[in-house]
A and B are shown apart, each in its own frame.
Chain A
Amino acid sequence: MTRGSSLYVEDLCMAFGQGPQEHRVLDGLSLRVDPGEAVCVVGPSGAGKTTLLRCLAGLARPTSGQVRYGELPLIEPHDDIAVVSQDYRGSLLPWMRVWDNVAFPLQGRGVKKAVRKSRALECLEAVGLQDVGDKYPWQLSGGMQQRVAIARGLAYDAPVLLMDEPFGSVDAQSRFDLEDLTLRLRRQLGITVVVVTHDIDEAVYLGDRVIVLGGRPTAVLETLTVPLGTDRDQLSTRADPRFAELRTRVLALIRGEKLPTGPEVAHQ
């Protein structure tokens, strides 16, 4: 059971500034994300991961190339796509209570207040936040705010969920819980998930595929398929030798080292 359409990125180039100050960030990126897939994007800081995600969300127009959702060119945000931005703090509206922040996108769709609120509280509970619905964002810690932003993305109930460094500020235990929540949602709801992350282990744990970005300007270095199935759990999956091998390969790619091969890398 999957929902929505495929996302296509075709020969995407992105440059900021003009003339001699032109700064090419992305250069000729192509990729594809199919419905129901979980894809993780990793790459060094400043590589343009956020820029790529903004293009996927229809929030930024590429300098050249295109992004499509099914047949539709994504030149503006689409109803089927929810984005959890990296700047979770800035993206929460300080004048709305937490539940209202989570429910606000639904108000835009004309959902009634009572329905909105119960849906928001449900999503807050899913990310491990009980009893904070009536607080204001500034009354929560950074990690809690980040989870509110995730809850808002979930409440939107879109077939495609794009998340930019979504678990960066939460504690280790919550982070594992949120990773498992992401996997579970994908399994149960058949949604497509694209996660940008710094954390290589997380990328391998969450992704069906891991897209490694690198180089200057940034291009796709390699796309790795993660053959770990859809039923994963924090202990056994991370202990799997294939997991270790994959994370080593991703790390080597990012650090620009020669790709190691052979079984010995699994024990490194």
Chain B
Amino acid sequence: MAKVRLLQLGALVVVLVLWAAIAAMGVVSSTALPGPRAVAGAFGGLFGSEAFWQAVGETLRGAVTGLLCAIAVGIPLGLLTGVYTAAEESSRLLMEILRSFPVIALLPVFLLVLGSTPGMKATVVFIACVFPVLLQAQYGARSVCQAVHETVRGYRIPRLLRLRRVVLPAAAPSIMTGLRLAATTSVLVAIGVEVLTTLPGIGHMIMESQQAGASARAYAYIFTAGGIGYTITLLAQFAEHRLLRWRPPAHQDEE
């Protein structure tokens, strides 16, 4: 275990060294690719600045609001359509079409309808995140095995209780997969919207820094976005371990 960790850290160091070497050799201009030291320096400046934390806050607000709405809508809807075959079949085509839409391409429409507002950002995040959650919940709900089904029917478990204590936990592993996907998507889309509009946030700061020629600062923001994405993945993994504790160890090691 420790050995694996060491190797992983080693890989990280190698990338950093390569980066420093490339930047030092001057193959790429220092505005396109500043060295690690310059970026670290930019970070130092940013952590103390209010603008940085505000940008992070704005991005997170949009991402989290959209994600929470996607969870609140996607999980119940997915479970219901998964349980009732008729609902699933009748909505399948619509679902396939809707989820194939590249949400960023719809941005101009949302801009027109909702204007350049934080609500619009959250809406776009919601739309991008709701499908992975919904489809995974649906898939999970359909995975309830025959023997469990029969038991629940034989003991006349009422519908709501069944949904809450049988279908939901049975679908939980699958839902968690959808959630992990949606969580990273949420940050990605929030930043994408900020880059493409004038809405405040990390994306906006990246654009602004670049235009001002402060490429080290731009990279610092980009790495911040990466850090947020990574933190979210860790949080999701932690939640998964907590929520799926009932699974035998063979499953718990699975990624």
List the interface of chain A (C-beta within 8 A of B).
54, 57, 59, 76-77, 79, 81-83, 85, 87, 89-91, 93-96, 104-105, 107-108, 136, 138, 152, 156
Contacts and interface: CB of A to CB of B under 8 A. Distances in A.
Contacts of B172: 95
Given A93-B148, A138-B248, A156 B153 contact: no
Contact of B154 (A85, A89, A136): A85
B49 interface: no
Contact of B165 (A81, A82, A104): A104
A254 B46 CA distance: 85
A82 B146 contact: no
Nearest to B158: A108
Interface residues of B, number: 21
Given A85-B151, A91-B148, 8 more contacts: A59-B153, A76-B153, A83-B154, A85-B147, A93-B165, A104-B155, A107-B165, A136-B248
B166 interface: yes
A37 to B, nearest CB: 21
B242 interface: no
Contacts of A108: 155-158, 161
A90 B161 contact: no
Contacts of A107: 157, 161, 165
Given A59-B150, A107-B161, A95 B155 contact: no
A59 B248 contact: no
Contacts of A81: 154
A77 B157 contact: no
Which interface residue of B156, B169, B247 has the most chain A CB atoms within 10 A? B156
Interface of B: 145-148, 150-151, 153-158, 161, 165-166, 169-170, 172, 246-248
Contacts of A91: 147-148, 150-151
Contact of B155 (A76, A90, A105): A105
Contacts of A136: 246, 248
Of A81, A94, A136, most buried by chain B (CB within 10 Å of CB) is A94
A160 B151 CA distance: 16
B248 to A, nearest CB: 4
A246 B145 CA distance: 40
17 contacts: A59-B154, A77-B154, A77-B156, A79-B156, A82-B155, A83-B155, A85-B147, A94-B246, A94-B248, A95-B170, A95-B246, A104-B155, A104-B165, A107-B165, A136-B248, A138-B248, A156-B155
A85 B157 contact: no
A85 B147 CA distance: 8
